[in-house]
Amino acid sequence: MKIAIPVDEKSIESSVCISFGRTPYFLIYDMESKKSIFLDNSAAASQGGAGIKAAQTIVDNNVGALLTPRCGENAAAVIKAANVKIYKTINDSIIDNINALNEGKLALLDDIHAGFHNHGGK
């Protein structure tokens, strides 16, 4: 299974990004082959609806799970429609979170927030 994590820099040593929709990069990590790819998040500079566009990107990369500290409701609607599971990260270390997922220690993200921008692209 491939997973996606919003990350601050193009390195597995960097940290998990606090924002899903406006993260600069996504790490696409293959749990079996242990290969990593870093994607530019084209949604980062969007006027509005960044979460929707970012969610479309990770769904298009055929991931099975998203690991993120938080996620807005529009993005969550897209991700859930694609049957991708959303897990809540435990800290800002990418490796810790991948290990925790492997060990079955990550919980599903259930506190989906209503967005911070008054209903998206205002």
Partner 1 sequence: MKIAVLSGKGGTGKTLVAVNLAAAAKESIYIDCDVEEPNGYLFFKPRDIKSEKITIKIPIIDERLCKGCRKCVDFCKFNALAYINDKLIVFDEVCHSCGGCVLFCPEKALTEKEKIIGEVQRGVSDNVTVITGILNTGEASGIPIIKKLLSDTSAGKGLTFIDCPPGSACIVMESIKDADYCILVAEPTLFGVHNLNMVYNLVRLFDKPHGAILNKCLDGENPAEKFCIEKGIQILGKISFDNELGTLNSNALISVRENMKYRDMFSALLQTVTKEVRHETAINP
Backbone angles phi, psi at 53, to 5 degrees: -70, -40
Question: Quick one: which of 3, 4, 55, 86 contacts partner 1 (CB under 8 A)?
Answer: 55
Q: Say whether residue 14 binds partner 1 (CB under 8 A).
A: no
Furthest CA-CA distance within the chain: 42
Q: How far is the CB of 113 from partner 1 (least distance, A)?
A: 15
CB-wise, 1 or 81, nearer to partner 1? 81
**48 binds partner 1, rule: CB under 8 A:** yes
User: In this chain, which stretch among 8-16, 29-37, 75-83, 102-110 interacts with partner 1, using CB under 8 A?
Assistant: 75-83
Does position 118 interact with partner 1 (CB under 8 A)? The reply is yes
To partner 1, the closest distance from the beta carbon of 97 in angstroms equals: 25
By the criterion CB under 8 A, which residues form the site for partner 1? 43, 46-50, 52-53, 55-56, 59, 74, 77-78, 81-83, 118-122
